[in-house]
Amino acid sequence: MNSTAKIADMFSGITKVYDALNDIMTFGLTRIWRMYASQAVLKGKKDDFIVLDLAIGTGYMTGRMLKDSKGSIKVVGCDVTRAMLLSASKNLGNGVPLVLGDGKFLPFRDGSFNSVVSAFSLRSFIEEGHEKLLFEIKRTLKEGGSIVLVDTGKPQGNFMKAFFYVYMKIIKQLGGLYDKKSYDWLANSIWTLDPNDFRRAMIRAGYESEVFSLPFGVPYLFVGRKN
């Protein structure tokens, strides 16, 4: 199995508990972090605005954007895990087209989207490198389109490092009650996303880019534009 297939297999196993455990483990903060991502996407909104929610999971990010935009945008969802797409379709209904696909080989034409957003998926792409993903997203964006990515990454500073070292042990214990291997991976992977390295990768891929630290923890919001 290649690393993408392993990741899809892992997310299939935790689809049913994913949202509930996320809320418990982050005290609901992922909802607030997605709100920041939604605001960044909608900042550039214009007529006929179409957004790709890449790695849509159970559809939470899309639900947030549809609510914030009062349904005035069109969203297409894509994910590599079939079980996640089934869950998204239950949560979102028929209004959001859902496509099975790998973020590194997106099944969409060049210049399809005004914005591509992805929440909490960057760590899944580390093993095969972010550059392929960033170039592929750029291909599917219209000129001037935006890329908005939010994910938890490496804590900065000694206090935060120590805090997250202990906190991730708790996450592993809690998630381990359901699926030890997957929650070990999810907890360990926060150390693999370095916000400065990722921003440099965005610049190398040809985006104008900014990185913001979001409140309460170690989430980073990366916002870029295709020139």
Ligand X SMILES: C[S@@+](CC[C@H](N)C(=O)[O-])C[C@H]1O[C@@H](n2cnc3c(N)ncnc32)[C@H](O)[C@@H]1O
Written as one string, the DSSP assignment of 32-88 is HHHHHHHHHHHTT--TT-EEEEET-TTSHHHHHHHHHTTT-SEEEEEES-HHHHHHH
CA distances from 206 to 89, 202, 210 (A): 34, 7, 13
Closest residue to bound ligand X by CB: 57
Check residue 221 for interaction with ligand X (CB under 6 A).
Answer: no
Environment class of residue 84 by beta-carbon count within 10 Å: exposed (0-12), middle (13-18) or buried (19+)? buried
Separation CA 172–CA 220 (nearest Å) = 22
Q: Check binding of 4 to ligand X (CB under 6 A).
A: yes
* Member of 25, 57, 113, 223 binding ligand X (CB under 6 A): 57
120 binds ligand X (CB under 6 A): yes
If one asks whether residue 136 binds ligand X (CB under 6 A), the answer comes out as: no
Interface segment toward ligand X; rule CB under 6 A; list 56-64, 65-73, 176-184, 195-203: 56-64
Position among 114, 121, 140, 152 found at the interface with ligand X (CB under 6 A): 121
Q: Would you count residue 38 as binding ligand X (CB under 6 A)?
A: no
- Name the residue nearer to ligand X (CB basis): 11 or 222: 11
- Quick one: which of 51, 92, 119, 171 contacts ligand X (CB under 6 A)? 119
Q: End-to-end alpha-carbon separation of the chain, Å?
A: 37
Q: Does 51 bind ligand X (CB under 6 A)?
A: no
Phi then psi for residue 79, to 5 deg, are: -155, 155
In the block, residue with structure tokens 């996640």 = 84
List residues binding ligand X (CB under 6 A): 4, 7-8, 11, 34, 55-57, 60-61, 79-81, 84, 102-104, 119-121, 124
